[in-house]
Amino acid sequence: MLICKKCGSDNPLGRIFCGSCGSKLDMSDMTSDTLADRQRESFLLTHYKKMLLVLLLLVLATGGLALWPSTAVLGEEGTSLGSSKVKQHMGLLLNLAPGQVVTLTVNEKDINGYLKHTKLRKSRYESCSTRLVSRGMSARLVRPLAEVPLGKFKLKLKISFDLRCVPAGGQVVVTGASVGHLPLWGPTKTLALTEYRKLFASGKEQGLLKVLTDIRIEDGQAELSAGD
């Protein structure tokens, strides 16, 4: 506050003339609190840009670590032979005769072979893999984003989408999802689900889910049942 020498009234900062008597205020007549406020304001005005920059860097670093991709392949690495086995099983389940009931077992390695040698061909994704555990499964999809030149080297930017699922009758229910190391909740799970839908948009997988009557998952294998 500024103190008027003539009448002793307190005046807020910014005034030139006293609000009580109209006399011109002397800027030297400031209280100790006013001087401290001025010093704090001066410090903030001088350093606010640096403080904002540090805060921005912290936010970017935290976000970058959260979105850092998980690129390790899940489960056993598959082969082209396993891919052929899975396609044969799918053909059998999709072409059941009326009244026929079939139960087949597929293992983790063959499923990963199908994902690698059939679904990833001509796709923009780098890898897709799954791990089967007792009564559940995990899936990981990795997509390249861009290459950033760093001198003689190139930094390959990627993004990963993870799903955790459990069987429910003839369906698969998503219980968890994440992008990189960032967990997704509620409606945000669609960020990961959308990528999987794109990969399986063209194929027989959607039709297979419609004919399955039961799915049972144990360590390393899945039992699929279809038919009336």
Q: What are the pLDDT digits (tens) for 130-185? A: 999 988 999 999 999 888 887 788 888 899 999 999 998 888 899 999 999 999 98
Q: Which of 6-15, 61-70, 144-153 has the highest mean pLDDT?
A: 144-153
Question: Is the per-residue pLDDT at 45 higher than 70?
Answer: no
- The angle subtended at Cα 76 by Cα 71 and Cα 78, nearest 5°, is 95
Report the C-alpha gap between 177 and 108 in whole angstroms.
20
Question: Is the per-residue pLDDT at 30 higher than 60?
Answer: no
How do 212-218 and 221-227 pair as beta strands?
A: antiparallel
| Residues pairing with 144 in the sheet | 158
Domain ranges for the chain, please list them: 2-67, 80-227
- Whole-number Cα distances in Å, 156 to 77, 159, 169: 23, 10, 41
> Among 214, 85, 218, which Cα is nearest to 226's?
214
Question: Is the per-residue pLDDT at 29 higher than 80?
Answer: no
| Radius of gyration of the chain, Cα coordinates, nearest whole angstrom | 32
Phi-psi region of 124 (alpha: psi -120 to 50; beta: other; left: phi over 0): alpha
Report the C-alpha gap between 85 and 40 in whole angstroms.
73
The reported pTM is: 0.72
Q: What confidence score (pLDDT) does residue 56 get?
A: 79
Yes or no: say if 188 and 174 are a contact pair by the CB < 8 Å rule: no
Q: What confidence score (pLDDT) does residue 150 get?
A: 79
User: H or E segment at 213?
Assistant: strand 212-218
| Residues pairing with 168 in the sheet | 171
Considering the chain, what is the average pLDDT of its residues? 85
